[in-house]
Chain A
């Protein structure tokens, strides 16, 4: 083994500090959410209890947390499915270099870098003037797509730029129709990346705030509910909620990586394809 240079240890230390910087605060509120009933928003711990978690599960003054969780979850699934389907279609379209592709590409990038509050304000104004009611299923859904679709599209670009076209040509040479080529050759190859698109779609929607702010209507999504709590809740119940929803996000991420890992393991298993030829 080659000996590590001094710069390795320096940078490793820096990296360690960076990870601490990333995770330290969230771990802290994780600990503080177990405050005793008399405890406050900072250390010291005033006993250890599940008081604040219990508070969340008893429906009372803190608002409609579980309703907003259900809405955020449903919206996340809607956005996830739509993002995957639309991104794949758009990814296929961009391979064909259709007229107007450059314009659409720049629009997608614009969608990513535009200040979120403009989407929120503009969509709110349009619904207002057309006499529609803003609702998380309609205006909230559309606004969130402007945030998740560009990520999906960028992933699809990365996927198709590395895609070996000879697979498709082989399928076509064997007489597969375009649909068969897509369903039996292209789709299985890009499937793991689609899981990535799905992960982005769900988590970005689940945590989205700025674009949903003026477009969710009278029923809050979870981030809006949490933000509302920051202005009037001064007990660790907000840490308990933060801990739970972060754990939920981590579970989603964990399930995603587990699926990818299982998929790649299945692929590595030697298949019997071609054995009949020998």
Chain B
């Protein structure tokens, strides 16, 4: 019986396993292999050398860029967490009717199903030198000269990240909040807790799994990004993803692969730390 169950299970899981083997495991294995290869100006050749890693770790650029990547991840995380928590709290606890809850929740999730690139492009008329933000501030008399740091800067990069990824915080935190037994909150109030005490000692601890899942999403998405940074900084800022895509455009695949391996390890370490704190499967 057990064997039979295993067999049917395997057959049903086979398509998923095949796709993941072919397009996830094999590509990563290939990247690890190629990271030891050598490259000429126009081709790559099989070898087993550590040149790519040596170059990577000896270049000061690498450290700056990795630091930059972690900086983006940390700042974006902080903003998405605060905004995501507040939005989820509003939806879960302040909205009383289920119909409105669903409607407002969908309002927050719809942008997720539209194009990220368009959503980035749509910031240009806002942030540009002659954009809405600058002209509004000038007409209010807040500033005399247009602000230069609104577009093509760290500011615009992080703004775009927050814009794109806050949803990944809202959904899991909202999910956690909806499972909180409302009588716990009443009990806290009956015991004399004020609003903030209830929030901090009852709601936040119970939302931890949701916060963790959101954190994993946001940090990995930001750390692996290359397109937002390139577009929103007008190619003036760098993160690891851009380092990789630059190497790719120069056909320096082995060097790109080595950087990719280091990036992958960094991401995996971050996830491993976070996963120790929560069991994802229980939360679905």
Do A and B form a real pair?
Answer: yes
Given contacts A90-B13, A149-B19, contact A249 B27 (CB under 8 A): no
| B271 partner residues in chain A, CB cutoff 8 A | 113
> B113 is contacted by which of A21, A110, A249 (Cβ under 8 Å)?
A249
Q: How far is the CB of B122 from chain A (nearest CB, A)?
A: 4
| B131 partner residues in chain A, CB cutoff 8 A | 42-43
A111 to B106, CA, bound (A): 25
Contact in complex: A126, B27 (CB < 8 Å): yes
Contact in complex: A41, B125 (CB < 8 Å): yes
A195 at the interface (CB under 8 A from B): no
Q: How far is the CB of A145 from chain B (nearest CB, A)?
A: 5
Contact in complex: A115, B224 (CB < 8 Å): yes
Number of interface residues of A (CB under 8 A): 88
Chain B interface extent, by class: 35 or more
Residues of A within 8 A of B (CB): 7-8, 11-12, 14-15, 18-19, 21-26, 28-29, 32, 41-43, 85-87, 89-90, 92-94, 96-101, 104-105, 107-111, 113-119, 121-123, 125-126, 129, 142-143, 145-146, 149, 153-154, 157-158, 161, 199-200, 203-204, 206-207, 209-210, 213-214, 223, 226-227, 230, 238-239, 242, 245-246, 249-250, 252-253, 257
The 7 closest A-B pairs by CB, nearest first: A122-B27, A115-B224, A98-B9, A93-B12, A25-B122, A93-B13, A96-B9
13 A-B residue pairs with CB within 8 Å: A7-B195, A18-B87, A29-B125, A93-B10, A96-B9, A100-B10, A100-B13, A109-B280, A118-B27, A118-B31, A210-B226, A226-B117, A245-B115
Known: A113-B216, A118-B31, A199-B113. 20 other contacts (CB 8 A): A15-B104, A18-B83, A22-B111, A26-B111, A29-B125, A41-B128, A93-B8, A94-B13, A96-B9, A101-B13, A121-B257, A122-B30, A122-B31, A129-B30, A143-B23, A149-B20, A226-B121, A227-B227, A245-B118, A252-B113
